[in-house]
């Protein structure tokens, strides 16, 4: 009899998920036959529970975008311990999705609404020579040199709570564009430039639009002050280009009193490195 209390065979399970976004039409189930991460995981769960169960993610990544530490939850029934669900699902999932860990969480815990931060990394490859093994994970920007120090200078004023409508694509269901940027950095390692941004949440398309405009600062097409004026004035019309999706990766999602062990996040997306004899003369 249902007396309103939780039964012992029902539990909320939280997952930390990695996926290569190359062959996915984003995270969210589309209903039009496109391959998505959510639909693949829900199908795997259905083979176990014999019914469709929604999987709720911390954030929806676009088509082609990767995740090294996406978080999601679902309602499980049956006798499988929460800690075993990672193994159970990995045996049923395609090779471009990996469940890093699975844990039991309270019914009040929510992958999206309980999160206090998300962190993204964007990788730009600046070598003049293309590289097939770099191509799936970076934007090959060979047009002209990029100054990482100028990009860092442009990022600094973004830290804090701001209305970032200039970096919001149309079609979002969010009712406002306020974002609390908790950290932002840009650094170079050989031919690779890494841009990382941490915030309480991200607008639809925000990181790719942000990087697209930052590149115009790095190649000195715009000044740092022009960049700042554009987003402060909410000039979405002047943010014309979105960086390509393959350079973007969701690194991690943070929670107060996180249910996940800290080792899950360590080196979740290793940075790309070239051999020590790499010639800097080839680098922009």
Among candidate residues 24, 16, 9, the one with its CA nearest the CA of residue 90: 16
Q: d(Cα 55, Cα 45) in Å, to the nearest integer?
A: 9
Q: Could you tell me which residues come within 8 angstroms of residue 134 by beta carbon, excluding any fewer than 6 positions away?
A: 125, 140, 272
Q: d(Cα 86, Cα 102) in Å, to the nearest integer?
A: 5
CB burial of residue 264 (10 Å; 0-12, 13-18, 19+): middle
Q: d(Cα 1, Cα 267) in Å, to the nearest integer?
A: 47
Q: d(Cα 141, Cα 195) in Å, to the nearest integer?
A: 14
Q: d(Cα 12, Cα 239) in Å, to the nearest integer?
A: 41
The three-point CA angle 222-227-229 to 5° equals: 125
CA Rg, the chain, in Å? Answer: 20
Q: d(Cα 243, Cα 8) in Å, to the nearest integer?
A: 47
- Verify whether residue 127 is a known catalytic residue: no
The residue annotated as part of the active site, out of 62, 96, 107, 127, is 62
- Return the residue matching tokens 């998300």: 118
Q: Which residues are catalytic?
A: 62
């Amino acid at each position: 009899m249902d007396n309103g209390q939780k039964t012992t065979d029902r539990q909320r399970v939280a997952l930390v998920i990695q996926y290569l976004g190359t062959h996915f039409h984003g995270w969210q189930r589309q209903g039009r036959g496109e391959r998505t991460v959510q639909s693949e995981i829900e199908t795997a769960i259905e083979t176990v529970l014999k019914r469709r169960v929604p999987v709720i993610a911390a954030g929806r990544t676009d088509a082609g975008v990767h995740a090294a530490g996406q978080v999601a939850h679902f309602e499980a029934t049956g006798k499988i311990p929460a800690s075993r669900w990672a193994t159970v699902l990995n045996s049923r999932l395609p090779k471009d999705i990996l469940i890093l860990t699975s844990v039991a969480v309270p019914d009040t815990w929510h992958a999206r609404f309980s999160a206090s931060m998300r962190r993204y990394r964007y990788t730009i490859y600046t070598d003049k020579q293309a590289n097939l093994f770099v191509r799936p994970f970076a934007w090959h920007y060979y047009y002209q040199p990029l100054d990482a120090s100028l990009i860092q200078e442009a990022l600094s004023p973004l830290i804090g709570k701001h209305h970032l409508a200039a970096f919001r694509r149309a079609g979002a269901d969010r009712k406002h564009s306020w974002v609390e940027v908790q950290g932002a950095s840009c650094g170079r390692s050989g031919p690779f430039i890494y841009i990382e941004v941490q915030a309480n949440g991200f607008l639809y398309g925000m990181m790719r639009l942000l990087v697209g405009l930052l590149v115009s600062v790095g190649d000195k097409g715009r000044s740092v002050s022009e960049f700042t004026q554009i987003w402060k004035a909410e000039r979405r019309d002047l943010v014309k280009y979105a960086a390509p999706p393959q350079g973007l990766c969701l690194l991690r999602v943070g929670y107060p009193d996180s249910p996940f062990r800290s080792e899950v996040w360590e080196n979740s997306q290793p940075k790309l490195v070239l051999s020590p004899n790499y010639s800097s003369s080839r680098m922009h």
